[in-house]
Amino acid sequence: MNKVRTSEKSSRTMSLLSQLEKINLGSVLGEADNARYVTSKILHLVQSQEKTRKEMTSKGSTGIEVILSTLENTKDPQTMLNILNILIEVISVGGGRKANILVAKGGTQILLQLLLTASKDSPPNEELMVLLHTLLAKIGPKDKKIGMKARINGAHNISLNLVKQNLQNHRLILPCLQVLRVYSTSSVNAVSLGKNGVVELMFKIIGPFSKKNTSLMKVALDTLAALLKSKTNARRAVDRGYVQVLLTIYVDWHRHDSRHRYMLIRKGVLQCIKSVTNIKLGRKAFIDANGMKILYNTSQECLAVRTLDPLVNTSSLIMRKCFPKNRLPLPTIKSAFHFQLPVIPASGPVAQLYNLPPDVDDVVDESDDNDDAETESEIETENDDKDQHFKNDDIETDINKLKPRQELGRPLEELKMYERFFPELSEKLQECDLVSKEPKPFIPDANLSGPIVVPTAGEEYSAETKQSTKGVALKESNPVLTEEYNRRPAFLELPKKDSVKDSSLHQQNDQRNLSPSCQCLNQEIVKGLDRMSLQSSAKNDQYYSTACVITKESKTSLTTLACSNPCERVSPCGSSLFEGSSVHLGKLCCTGVDSEDEDSRSSSSGEQVMLEVSDVSPVHDCDLYIEMVKTTKSIPEYSEVAYPDYFGHIPPPFKEPILERLYGVQRTKISQDIERLIHQNDIIDRVVYDLDNLSCLVPEEADVLKFNSKFESGNLRKVIQIRKNEYDLILNSDINSNHYHQWFYFEVSGMKTGIGYRFNIINCEKSNSQFNYGMQPLMYSVQEALNSRPCWTRVGTDICYYKNHFSRSSIAAGGQKGKSYYTITFTVTFQHKDDVCYFAYHYPYTYSTLKMHLQKLESMHNPQQIYFRQDVLCETLAGNSCPLVTITAMPESNYYEHICQFRNRPYVFLSARVHPGETNASWVMKGTLEYLMSNNPSAQCLRESYIFKIIPMLNPDGVINGNHRCSLSGEDLNRQWQNPNPDLHPTIYHAKGLLQYLAAIKRLPLVYCDYHGHSRKKNVFMYGCSIKETMWHTNVNAAACDLMEDPCYRVLPKILSQTAPAFCMGSCSFVVEKSKESTARVVVWREIGVQRSYTMESTLCGCDQGKYKGLQIGTRELEEMGAKFCVGLLRLKRMSSPLEYSLPSSLLDIENELMESSCKVTSPTTYVLDEDEPRFLEEVDYSAESNDDQDTELADNVGDYEATNQEDGLSDSDSTRILLS
């Protein structure tokens, strides 16, 4: 029965609409009365039945057209009122979708025309005006061109005049104000309304606290806030003293609204203040009216009530914006170190830097506010007409430019200079003694030094490795290896029970070698050092995270040392290691080793095996490191060695989760910064470290921290004590540059326990950072190292990254004025009193460390199995050598076919560390090198499959001198691959020369991969090059459909996504951008012709998918990634072999992925901060506390690609099945 009635009502609606349509056609007599009757019936149905409302706006229905047509043609006021009520009912329930339907049918224009007609009546019909404005207020936000339509129609002044003439008629002016707010979204309309006195009118409506007409007050404030976004209106408000009025109104509502019932009104007042302070005059008026103190005090009173957070957040935004811009406390933003270039570039940032007059202040501009508000009139542009669709002009759309064009670029005769780097291709090898003319079995040589341990992360260690222990020389069975493990630097020699005399002799020698300025560190500290060893003895066999064990026999508890003589710190970093040497080791903490129960360092037998395999690193040698440091050339001529680099790092055994950010942390930090302005007498403002002022005295007070960064890769320029336990830190620019502040590495000492020290790095430049998403800085404690835990650990609480009040000059910001620096802030509570701790942006990996690792690898390999060669590719600008490593397997014998197989192996070309601050790239490279040099059978198979040419550090000078991105030329070397200058960019010039030589002799590498680090994304992922995928991301999709392209470039990333836990295929991109055309990835693909040319990006933060989801990344995981990359290459070889396997179609089917992809690539913001990757979108969790516009970045389509097999433990057929699934 109900269904019948419903059907009847439905048909009744259609019947009424049909009658109305006939009336519109003029075919019905007495149409005015009939139209009034029919519309009243429809209104009744619409009000009483939801189905009728849906039916009128359903797909294919003509109900809305009929209603609008009637409204447009009728002259009857009652019919108009009926129809307006019908429309209000219809869109009030359906929300935005139904309002869009009304706009699409031309409803806005009809309503505006009706408003114009009705306004001519005298007096106008009040009910009609109320309904018209109510309806316009509802559909206006959905019509992007309503501002222009109203201006052309003249309707915006009608609404304004209605408000002026009916100030006491709240029912009428309420919807009129709502419409004015909609009109004001157009800046041109806002200016026009302002000229007609709308700003003054709004201040007649808003006022002090009152419980009456609060709805009107709220709407008036919203309208005023929208109007004041116009700079012309904002200036008018400032000129009339309305900033003071707004502050007075806000304080009045704040005091009287004790029950917080009118929070929206209070927020409305703040929104008006926020709008007016967008201009310089407004900010000045706000400061003059004591606005900072008023909003600071009121917001502090609101903190206790969580529901008032919108008020606190908006107040914070206003105060940050109005905080007077400060000059960065530096004499110049150029680097504190200078290096004279052999050739000055003709153009670009470096040329500008050299051409600056010496007396120019490059720290701050005369007027550092980007105050375009000073222009007399608004720019007459209509935002409504802008194309709202996403368009990226950076993506290359010219197919002719995209197509790889193999070009040598240099004469063949000139390229012959690189022949000497390829001795493996010469005939001389055939004459070498290959031990036997018979193919030799694969066994390790017991007379050689120890095995290279395959880097893995935890239980990721392959099951296959356990099965192949015959090929791995264990340290217990290798006397030479045991001797190597037990060997220590002379001054770290472990005292033995049966050689007390030797031990005392060492102590005497140590005392003799101590610098006279550091006698206060006396013998006890050295004894503490004596008790440390990098490897545990075979006898003890107890492992902790570091595999550094103090034997029970020799372990003693040291008490706190009292220095009998004052420590005259001639060298800020402690005692000399060797007599007659200029190298110094970082100073040691003046407390002894904390005694611990040995049980706390023991572990289960399973853990022992895991740690023994994956953590013990035989490639770190303290003595050798010192020797390497002596030959490293730095611009500041460092004579000190940082303790972590000397002693090494071994990953901790515990997981380090991504830090969960507490609510309101950033707001609290910003509030503390604002207190600096309000309570200036509480600020110490004392310089405690300054590279620009060498006479800056080291603080002698016990409660002041001491800082140092004068060691390899160190970066800290200046430190200012702000409060007792708070310090502002300023980073050094890259040499021959005035920006790129991100990498930091410095030493802190003189701390107390139980105190939270706040560190603010105040001159960062990027608009966002992973420090906002759970990343923590790293700390290395010397005291912990003395306690057998020499490792970098993630530390810090209350971490956030936000825009600060220090102003960047236009010289530093690529010509843009008014830009601010950003602050990284973190708080650390130290575990040990008077410890010596080091902080770093990421795990340091110095140039000297690389040289040491390469020398150890070379000394420990089996030359009868592994072909390992280390050459010097070239010298850098500072005179440091750039190493080139060749790794492959020796031929099985000197049989002709074995020699041919040896020489015809495809090349794989790898490079890393072109950007010095991306230290994670070096750790990944370390994992790759150690895997390639390991005794793992799969590594041997890999060596037999490829010849590896590796440049592990493309930018040694940048690494040595603590740069973040540039070389000594002040340029990003990864933007020089198109036309490298041999004098300014020698490493790039010759690296490209090697590849050009391979192309010339028809030996193109199968794979080129450049290892990088990514500061703003999680996981590990790759960027490659594809014409088709690039075209898919443009509007030229039709052309892309006809392209034929081998999709093999996707195979390696796909393999890695299924084998490497940290790798994420969803973050990979194969788009070619114009701004990246001079990077290694694109040039090697386009000019050299390597189809599989990649950049592999490793996160600095952690992972949000897979096995390591929710964890910060560590060196163990990074080295594992390097090893997994090798495994991926082996599988690539096996899968692409036509004799054994066919390539799984699932790896090549990219069409659907492309069409479904929502990936967007945008251009970098400025040349200052351009990236090697498309930018990304991760929700910016500023908790409404930041005044930053969110960047349009790459959508992160993250998929979970959990590793389902262990390294190469599965058969190849199993691997293929996994990849196909």
Altogether, the residues listed in the chain come to a count of: 1221
Maximum Cα interatomic distance, the chain, rounded to a whole number of Å: 127
Determine contact, residues 378/1006, Cβ cutoff 8 Å.
no
Q: Would you state the structure tokens that stand for residue 875, as one six-digit string?
A: 């010298």
Determine contact, residues 1073/396, Cβ cutoff 8 Å.
yes
Q: Which of 329, 332, 336 shows the shortest CA–CA distance to 357?
A: 332
**Burial readout 248-268 (b: 16 or more C-beta within 10 A, e: otherwise):** ebbbbbbeebeeeebbebbbb
**Residue 582, SS3?**
coil
Residues 6+ apart with CB under 8 A from 1070: 1023, 1024, 1025, 1026, 1029, 1030, 1049, 1050
Q: Is 50 a catalytic residue?
A: no
Q: Which of 719, 672, 878, 799 shows the shortest CA–CA distance to 1112?
A: 799
- φ, ψ of residue 718 in degrees (nearest 5): -155, 145
At residue 408's C-alpha, the angle toward residues 403 and 409, to 5°, is 95
DSSP annotation of 576 reads B
- φ, ψ of residue 827 in degrees (nearest 5): -120, 135
At residue 1005's C-alpha, the angle toward residues 999 and 1011, to 5°, is 120
Q: Would you state the structure tokens that stand for residue 784, as one six-digit string?
A: 């912990």
DSSP annotation of 598 reads G
Cα–Cα distance measured from residue 549 to residue 544, given in angstroms and rounded to the nearest whole number: 7
> Angle formed by the axes of helices 63-73 and 96-104, to 10°?
60
Q: Would you state the structure tokens that stand for residue 365, as one six-digit string?
A: 């501009």
Residues 6+ apart with CB under 8 A from 1137: none
Cα–Cα distance measured from residue 273 to residue 372, given in angstroms and rounded to the nearest whole number: 18
**Burial readout 602-634 (b: 16 or more C-beta within 10 A, e: otherwise):** eeeeeebebbbbbbbbbbbbbbbbbebbeebbb
Interstrand relation of 1007-1014 and 1093-1099 (parallel, antiparallel or unpaired): parallel
* Among 747, 930, 1097, 1173, the one annotated catalytic: 1097
How would DSSP label each residue in 475-528?
GGG-HHHHHHHH---GGGPPP-TT-HHHHHHHHHHHHHHS-GGGGGGHHHHHHH
How far from each other are the two terminal CA atoms of the chain, in whole angstroms? 55
Cα distances from 1152 to residues 654, 1056, 1087, 1148, in angstroms, run 41, 20, 29, 11
- Residue 860: CB atoms within 10 Å: 19
The backbone region for 736, taken as left when phi is positive above 0, alpha when psi lies in -120 to 50, beta otherwise, is left
Cα–Cα distance measured from residue 352 to residue 354, given in angstroms and rounded to the nearest whole number: 5
Q: Which of 66, 106, 103, 62 shows the shortest CA–CA distance to 83?
A: 66
Interstrand relation of 947-951 and 907-912 (parallel, antiparallel or unpaired): parallel
Cα distances from 926 to residues 19, 734, 849, 1118, in angstroms, run 82, 25, 10, 9
DSSP annotation of 121 reads S
Q: Which of 998, 1008, 907, 997 shows the shortest CA–CA distance to 954?
A: 1008
Q: Which residues are designated catalytic?
A: 1097
